[in-house]
Amino acid sequence: MIRLDKYLADMGTGTRQEVKKYIRKGLVRVNQETVRTPEMKICEEKDEVFLEGQRIAYASCEYYMLNKPAGVVSATEDKRETTVIDLIRDRKRKDLFPVGRLDKDTEGLLLITNDGQLAHRLLSPKRHVDKTYYAKVSGCVTREDVLLFARGLDIGTDEREEWTMPGELEILRSGSESEILLTIQEGKYHQVKRMFQAVGKEVVYLRRERMGALVLDKELKPGEYRPLTKKELENVKNEDA
């Protein structure tokens, strides 16, 4: 059960104060009756709430798979830049956030939700959730790099070492520009780019393909998104149990 004003505010129809005004003005109906008391308790599963005749369904948690395009930032709000949340035009909840961050120029899989518990567990360094990236790298990626990545790399500075955990590097094509898949279990700042820098190479294109059980849907073009399927949600929740 949840207060009527909170129900409407949670669904992004206005601030708590604005919503109280709508209710007092008689714009809100619960089932068949106009209700003027913001504190009325609503059963999210059974009651039907209408604002100016339009049904406002309650979603306690939302889960979207976004193929993040380059040029948008992995934040919830930004004064100047487009954020990944701005791209989720069908969102009902106003408290959505991205699970982890991709750099502004990185594309690919990003889970957008308001399920804080799930996000916390997916991002917990203790859980070692696999993340797979596809990259184009300038320079020839070699068998030696594969071995170096498998040992873990120092991606720190001259003053301070910073070792990564082992990463699984698969070479798809090597040449003056190479294509690779890299699976890592951490999310250090610019980690993939810094791992290649550590072996004297530069990432020129980066896309996340997988995060734990969640695989980027090939049908989604950069900038497109869709709700997670039941099965995907089940898998993500189970792996993290």
Q: Which residues are catalytic?
A: 103
Please, which residue, 3 or 188, has the CB nearer to ligand URA?
Answer: 188
Q: CB of residue 131 vs ligand URA: minimum separation in angstroms? A: 7
Please, which residue, 13 or 132, has the CB nearer to ligand URA?
Answer: 132
Please, which residue, 174 or 197, has the CB nearer to ligand URA?
Answer: 197
Place of tokens 């898998």: 235
Q: CB of residue 215 vs ligand URA: minimum separation in angstroms? A: 16
Q: Could you say whether residue 164 binds ligand URA (CB under 6 A)?
A: no
Q: Which stretch binds ligand URA (CB under 6 A): 37-45, 119-127, 166-174, 187-195?
A: 187-195
Strands 225-227 and 63-68: antiparallel
The interface with ligand URA within residues 205-234 (CB under 6 A) comprises 206
In 111-148, which positions are buried (b, 16+ CB within 10 angstroms) versus exposed (e)? bbbbbeebbebbeeeeeebebbbbbbbebebeeebeeb
User: How far, in Å, are 110, 135, 168, 186, 222 from residue 106 at the CA level?
Assistant: 11, 10, 20, 16, 10
Q: Could you say whether residue 190 binds ligand URA (CB under 6 A)?
A: yes
Side-chain-facing half-sphere of 173: CA atoms under 13 Å = 10
Q: Is 219 helix (H, G, I), strand (E, B) or coil?
A: coil
Q: CB of residue 202 vs ligand URA: minimum separation in angstroms? A: 11
Of 183, 186, 230, which is closest to residue 208 (Cα–Cα)?
Answer: 183
Q: Could you say whether residue 191 binds ligand URA (CB under 6 A)?
A: yes
Q: Could you say whether residue 132 binds ligand URA (CB under 6 A)?
A: no
CA distance 74 to 69: 10
- How many other CB atoms are there within 10 angstroms of residue 52's CB atom? 11
Q: CB of residue 175 vs ligand URA: minimum separation in angstroms? A: 22
The interface with ligand URA within residues 86-115 (CB under 6 A) comprises 102-103, 106
Q: Could you say whether residue 193 binds ligand URA (CB under 6 A)?
A: yes
Please, which residue, 29 or 188, has the CB nearer to ligand URA?
Answer: 188
Q: Which stretch binds ligand URA (CB under 6 A): 91-99, 149-157, 188-196, 226-234?
A: 188-196
Q: CB of residue 102 vs ligand URA: minimum separation in angstroms? A: 4
Q: Could you say whether residue 202 binds ligand URA (CB under 6 A)?
A: no
CA distance 90 to 133: 27
By the 8 A CB rule, do 16 and 23 touch? no
Strands 2-3 and 41-42: antiparallel
Q: Which residues of the chain form contacts with ligand URA (CB under 6 A)?
A: 102-103, 106, 190-193, 206
